[in-house]
Structure 1
Amino acid sequence: MSLPNPLLSGFHPDPSVLRVGDDFYLATSTFEYLPGIPIFHSRDFVTWTQIGNVVTRLGQLDVERVPTAGGAWAPTLRHRDGVFHLVVTDAFGRGTLHFSASDPAGPWSAGTVLHGIDGIDPDLAWDEDGTAYLTFSGLGVNPVLPTFMQHRGLLQARVDLSAGRALEEPRSIWSGGGGQFPEAPHLYRIGEWWYLVIAEGGTERGHSVSVARATTPEGPFETAPGNPLLTARGTNRPVQNTGHGDLVLGPNNEWLLVLLGVRPRSMTRAFSALGRETFVSRVTWGDDGWPAFEPVPLAPRPGGVAWREEFDADLGPEWMAVRRFPSAIASAGGGSLVVRADGATLDDLAPAFLGRRQQHQTARIRIAIDVSRGIGGLALRYDERFHYSVVAGGGRVVARGRIPDFESRAEQAIDGDRVELEIASRRPEGDPFEARTSDVVELAVVAGGERTVLATLDGRYLSSETTESFAGRVIGVVALEGEVSVDWFDYAGSDE
C-alpha cells in the first residue's frame, strides 16, 4: 500500500488516530481557532475527509481569552464500549478536558474539566478491569498554580471520567532518554506489554519518538534500546521535526505511526511555511518485542488540487475564525459569503477573519469580492503579528505585509466596487543556493481581466520558525469596515 506524506497537509499538528472496525478517525490541535479540534475519517488511510469538529459551541473551550498559541493543545482520541472519548488541554483556559460522543462527527459533550490534573498532551487508556489512566506531560499551564510553566516530566493518575477528577496525586512514571520537553505520551496494551510512546527533544528540529514498556500501565517502565527510535535531527531528510506519534493497526493489519513533521525550504532548509503537518511512518516489531519506525518519507499526493467554494449552502467544517465562531462575523448561502467588520483589524486578537488552511507549498487563492458596503479582502495569517493581506474599498486596493516592527504597503486605484483579489505562494526563482526563503508571496489584484502584482513579499516571515507559532498559514476573507460580500473563493495548489 502506498501512503501519501503528508497524510494531512497544512496546519494539522499533534495528530491522534483511532481504529474502530474498518474505520479510522484522526484529530489534531487547533489552538485559538474555532470551531476546534477537527475529526477526520478514512477507510483506506489514504483519503481523509473532515466529518466535523469537537468544539462547535460556546463554553466547550475558553479560547476567547487565551493568549496566542493557547487553546486546544494535543488531543488524544480513543473509543471504548461504543463511546468515543477525547482528552485535550485547553491551555491557559479551562484546563485538561474530557469530551465524549456516540458519533465522532458530533455533537460532542460540553467537556468535563479533570480536576487534579495540571499539564498538557493528555492520553487516555483503560486496563482490563476498566480503570482509566490519564498520562500527561507535566508542564503547568494553569496561571494560578505555583507549577505554572514548570515542567515536571511525564505524570500519570487514575481518573474518574464521570466525576471529572483524578483519583490520586499524579506520579512520575518515565521521562524519556534525557531530551528536553518529554511530552505527547500515548499508552497501549499490545500483547503482554504496556508500551509508552512519547516525544522528546522539543517540537522543533530536535523532535523525536522514544519508547518504553512495562507489564502494568503504572510501570516500572524499561527503556527501549537505541532510543530515540525515530528522529530526523542532524539529517538531510526532507521531513523534519518528526515526533508526537500515535500507534494504530492500519489497513491490512499493518502497524503505523501517525505523527507530526514539517517540510522546510531554503538554502539551509530553515523555514517551514505551512507549519506542522500530519505524516505517517511504517512500524515493524522485532523478535525482542520492540518496535522499529521507518524514517518518514516525503511522498506528496501527485498532481494538483483545485476547488471553488461558491457559498450555495452553509459553511463546511473546514472554515475557521479566530477566538470566535464563524457565525459571529459571517454568513453563507444563496451564492455569497458575507463577512461583517466589528472594528477589529488583522493586528487584533480577534479579527473579522474567516479562513481555511493553506495546504500546498505552491498555491494560488483568488476571490471575487463586492466592497460596495465596506472594506475588506483576502488575508494570509499566522497570527496577529505576522500576516499579509490585499484589501479593497473606497476606490483603492491596498497590499500590506505586517511583521513585528515593520510594515510594507502598496496601493492602486480601482474603478467600481467589484474586484478579484489574489494571494499566490510560489518557489523562489534562481539558484537554489540563493533561495534563502521558504517561498515568495504575491499580493495581486485582477481588474478588467488584467492581473497586477502590488507586492512581492518574502515568505520566510510567515513560517513556523520565524513566527515561533504552533499553528500554520490560514488564508481567508477579512472585513475591516462595514461588510463585504464574496461570490466565490478559488484555491489551486500543488506540491510537485
Structure 2
Amino acid sequence: MAWVLVLLAAFFSVAQAAPRLERQGSAPTVSFDWFEYTGKDAVFESPLPAGSYRNPILAGFYPDPSVTRVGGKFYLVNSTFGYFPGIPVFESSDLVHWRLLGHVLERPSQLRFDGLGISRGVFAPAIHHHDGVFYVLNTLVDSGGNFISTAKNPAGPWSDPVWLAEIDGIDPSLFVDADGKAYVLNNGVPPEPPKYDGHRAIWMQEFDLQRMKLIGPRRVLLNGGVDISKQPVWIEGPHLFKRGEWYYLMCAEGGTSVNHSEVILRSRAVWGPYAPYENNPILTQRDLPKERANPVINAGHADLVEAPDGTWWATLLGSRPYDGVNYHTGRETYLLPVTWKNDWPVILEQGRPIPHIATAPKLPNANRDVAPLTGNFTWRDEFDRRELNPAWLQVRAPKRQWFDLASEPGRLNVAPTDERLDGKANPAYLGRRQQHLAFEAGTSLRLPKEPGVAAGIAAFQNGQHWYFLGARRDGDAVQVFLEKQNGATTQQLAAATLKSTGDIKLKITGEGREYSFYYDARGWQPLLKNDDGSILSTEVAGGFVGATLGPHARLEH
C-alpha cells in the first residue's frame, strides 16, 4: 500500500507543477491553410563566391550567441527573452550552416513567464560541455534569477533549472579548468556602492559539478571594466577560457546599443589579477562613420571557440539598421575569425567594418542540408506535420494548448482566446522571426461561421508595438481591418468589406521603415500602403528583441 501512496503523491505533484494543456471546449475555431515568408534584402543579392560565407550566419532575432565544440561538432545557443520555447540549440560542423536541434526550455513547467514583458525573461545563455554533459547557464530576469540546465544530448531533453540562488546579476557562464575544478562567472553589483550609472562588476565562484552547487568564496575579477577611471558601463557577458599558460577573461562592455564592444584581459592564475589588453576593445563598430553602406551596429557579446584545425572563431551579435539607427530584425548572430597577436586574441581590428561576405572556415563534413537561416529565401509552412514547426514561437509559456494540427491534417486550427497582443499572458499568436529588412509574409485562413472572432496575421515587437491585419464576420460579409498599437494607443487604420466567405488571404510586406498591408479580392488589393513601421524597431519600442510575424486569433466582445 505504501508504494501506491508514493505513486499517488508523485502524480499529484506533477499535476500541480504542469500547466493545463487543454483547449477551450466551446470556442469557435479559425483554420489556417498555410503561412509563407520571403526575404528580399539587397545586401543578400550579391553572389557568394566559393569558399565564402554570408554574415549574419543567423539572420533576425538571434542575440547573445554562445558556442562550444565537442569533437567535430559545434553547438550554439541564443537568448529568447519572453518567447517560448526558450533558448534554441543549434548544431554545425563548419560554423556556417546550422541545424536547429531543439530548445533548452521546451516544457512550460520549466520556468514561469507569467506577466513578464517580452524583453524580460530569458537573458544571455552560455553553453558548455564537460565529461559527457552539456551545461546551459542563464538568467530568468524578474522571475527567478540565475540557473543551470543540463543534458546528455544537446537535442534534449534538458533538465529542469537548478537555481543559483546565492548569486545576483545576469549572464552566468561556466569554466572548467584542466584540474577538474569548475567556476561560475557572472555580472553583478560592484563590491562597493556604484560610482556611476552602469557601474557593474564581474564575479567568480567555484562550482561543484557533482552537487551542482556553488562553493567557497565569491570574488571580483573585474570591477567596472578595463579602466574604471573612464567610467565604463555595463561590463557583462563574461567568458573565461585558457590557451597555453594564460587564462583569458573576455567580456562585453559599453551596453548593448551603438557603444557595444568586446574587451579582453589575461592572467597566469585563474583567480587573477587580470591585466587588460593595451589595444582594447578587440571588437566594436562604434567608431565607424554612420553614413557607411550596409552598416552593422551594436557589435559585441562575443564567445570564442577553437576549431579542430587549430583556428579560432568568434560568434557575436550585431544589428542591421535600414537608416543608420532603426532596425526591426533585432540583434543577429555573426561569425568572424580570431587572430592571435602576442598571445592576445583580436576579433576585428579597430576601424574595420564587419563584412557581409567573408572567407569560410576550412572545415570538413560541412552539413549543407539545412534550412536557410541567412541570405534571401522563401520559408513556407503547409501545416502538414504532426508537430508544430520548431521555428514558431509563442509569447510567454502557454497554460493550455490552443492550436491543433491533427484534427484537420494540412491545416493549423486555432481556438481564439480572450488574450490580446497587448496583454501579459499567452495570446493565440505564433510568430516567426523577421529576418530581412525587405520581406513578404502571407497566410490563408478560414473564419468560423460564428461572429465574435478576429483572425489574421500580426507583426509583433512587444505588447505596446504591433500591427494586426485581421478579418472578422460582418453579417453575411467579411471585414478586413488593420490595427496598429503604438504605445498606449490602439488605432484602426483601415478597413474593407469582402463579399466572399471562403478562405481569406492576407499579406504584410516590409521595406525598411515602410510596411504595407494587402488582402486578396480577385488579386492582391492594398488595404494600406507605406505606413511608418518604425514602431517595430528596437530604437522606438525599446527592449532587446526583434519583430516576429505570424497567425493570430482572438475573441471579441
Q: How many Å apart are 1:378 and its aligned residue?
A: 0.1
- Structure number with the higher strand fraction is 1
Equivalent residue number for residue 486 of structure 1: none
CA distance in 2, matches of 1:305, 1:114: 42
Provide the alpha-carbon RMSD of the alignment: 2.1
Note if 1:297 corresponds to 2:381.
no
Deviation at 1:265, TM superposition (A): 1.8
Structure with more relative contact order (C-alpha pairs < 8 Å, separation 6 or more) = 2
Aligned partner of 2:495: which letter?
Answer: E
**Amino acid aligned to 1:401:** K
Partner of 1:399: 482
Say if 2:455 is the partner of 1:376. Answer: yes
Distance (whole Å) between structure 1 residues aligned to residue 460 and residue 248 of structure 2:
39
Which residue does 1:423 correspond to in 2?
A: 508
> In 2, distance between residues paired with 1:299 and 1:413?
47
| Corresponding position of 2:268 | 215
The CA distance in 2 between the partners of 1:207 and 1:80, in whole Å, is 30
Equivalent of 1:63 in 113, 116, 120: 113
Q: CA deviation at 1:332?
A: 2.1
1:154-193 superposed matches below 5 A: 154-175=202-223, 176-177=225-226, 178=228, 179-193=232-246
Partner of 2:123: 73
Q: Does 1:311 align with 2:387?
A: no
In structure 2, C-alpha distance between the alignment counterparts of 1:481 and 1:450, rounded to whole Å: 27
User: How far 1:185 moved relative to its partner?
Assistant: 0.4
Q: 2:540 & 2:189 partners in 1: Cα distance?
A: 24
One-letter amino acid of the counterpart of residue 479, structure 2? R
- Corresponding position of 1:106: 156
Partner Cα separation in structure 1 for residue 94 and residue 288 of structure 2: 31
Equivalenced residues, count: 461
Counterpart residue number, 1:357: 433
Please give the secondary structure, in 1, of the residue aligned with 2:321. Answer: coil
Distance 1:471 1:193, change over 3 A: same
Residue in 2 aligned with 1:435? Answer: none
Among 530, 534, 540, the residue aligned to 1:456 = 530
Tell me the distance in 2 between the aligned counterparts of 1:410 and 1:262.
32
CA deviation digits over 1:176-215, x for unaligned, max 9? 2242100000000111111111000000000000000111
For the pair 1:445 / 2:519, whether they are aligned, the reply is yes
TM-score (norm 2): 0.79
Instruction: Tell me if the contact between 1:244 and 1:260 (Cα under 8 Å) persists in the aligned partners.
Output: yes
Q: Per-residue deviation at 1:327?
A: 6.3
1:246-282, Cα deviation, whole Å (9 max, x unpaired): 001236432111001101121xx11011111111121
| In 2: Cα distance, 1:154 partner to 1:418 partner | 56
CA deviation vs aligned residue, 1:306-354 (integer Å, no higher than 9, x gap): 1211111111221111112496221224101122222111111232211
The Cα of 1:168 is off from its aligned counterpart by: 3.1
Q: 1: distance between equivalents of 2:116 and 2:210?
A: 26
Q: Decide which of 31, 34, 37 is 2:84's aligned counterpart.
A: 34
CA contact under 8 A between 1:116 and 1:165: conserved in structure 2?
no
Mean Cα deviation higher: 193-202 or 309-318:
309-318
The question of 1:339 aligning with 2:394 is answered no
> Do the aligned residues in 1 keep the contact of 2:59 with 2:374 (CA within 8 Å)?
no
Letter of the structure 2 residue corresponding to residue 285 of structure 1: W
Match of 1:257, SS state, is: strand
Change (3 A) 1:353 1:35: same
Deviation at 1:7, TM superposition (A): 1.0
Q: Which amino acid aligns with 1:479?
A: A
Name which of 319, 339, 342 aligns with 1:262.
319
What is the CA deviation profile of residues 371-411 of structure 1, one whole-angstrom value per residue up to 9, with x for unaligned ones? Answer: 12532110010110000120011120111121114444211
Per-residue CA deviation, residues 81-112 of structure 1 (Å, 9 max, x unaligned), is 11111100111112111111011011000110
> Which ranges in structure 2 are unaligned for 5 or more consecutive residues?
1-50, 191-196, 359-372
Please, which moves more after superposition, 192-201 or 124-133? 124-133
What stretches of structure 1 of length at least 5 have no aligned partner?
A: 141-148, 427-437, 483-496
What secondary structure is seen at the aligned counterpart in 2 of 1:461?
helix
Q: Distance in 2 between matches of 1:247 and 1:337?
A: 41
Q: Shift of the alpha carbon at 1:60?
A: 1.7
SS state at 2:52 partner = coil
2:439 equivalent to 1:389 = no
Offset at residue 59 of structure 1 (A): 2.8
Return the offset for 1:447: 2.1
Between the aligned partners of 1:451 and 1:299, the Cα distance in structure 2 is 37
Q: 1:114, 1:161 within 8 Å by CA — same for their partners in 2? A: no
Query: Which amino acid counterpart does residue 297 of structure 1 have in structure 2?
Result: P
- Alignment partners' CA distance in 2, 1:458 and 1:164: 50
What is the distance in 2 between the residues matched to 1:388 and 1:190? Answer: 49
Residue pair 2:127, 2:137 contacting (<8 A) in 1 also: yes
1:49–1:319 Cα change, 3 Å: same
Cα displacement (A) at 1:216: 2.0
Identity fraction in percent: 37
SS of 1:233's partner is coil
- Partners of 2:357 and 2:464 lie apart in 1 by 32
Q: Is the 8 A contact 1:138 1:151 kept in 2?
A: no
1:468 aligned partner: 542
Q: How far, CA to CA, are the matches of 2:103 and 2:173 in structure 1?
A: 19
Q: Which residue of 2 aligns with 1:272?
A: 327
